[in-house]
Amino acid sequence: MVTDFGPVVPDTAERAVLADSVSLAVLVVLESLSPLERAVFVLREAFLFAVARDLGPDGEVRIVELNGGPAAVYFVEGRPDTVFQIEVSQGVIQCAYIIRNPDKLSGLPVA
């Protein structure tokens, strides 16, 4: 007789090994990127994580260059709703900006 108890839930040690494996994989990917590509990757992932719960069927995220640096722009119904931009100097993220002011975003020069 075979009894199926469902999927096996990994114990704490197995979860720690899995987390370390994922962390190492992300580090390998990041090391293979140029500083600008690395900044765009971090920008996109952080921004998507932050707004993922708010993304509706009309929401869209685009990575653009804004003020000389990479920026993630979240659009709702074709209009910019939120901008997340990072300032990179010598391959290191120096500052992050989040803008949700409709007056400032209405003139945003991104298509």
Profile the chain (111 residues) by mean pLDDT over runs of 10 residues: 55 73 81 80 72 67 81 82 82 81 77 57
User: How high is the pLDDT of residue 108?
Assistant: 78
User: How high is the pLDDT of residue 10?
Assistant: 61
User: How high is the pLDDT of residue 49?
Assistant: 67
What angle, 0 to 180 degrees and rounded to 10, lies between the N-to-C axes of helices 35-51 and 12-32? 130
Q: Enumerate long-range contacts of 93-100, CB under 8 Å, 24 or more apart.
A: 93/39, 93/42
User: How high is the pLDDT of residue 20?
Assistant: 75
Backbone φ, ψ for residue 78 (5° rounding): 80, -5
Q: Model pTM?
A: 0.56
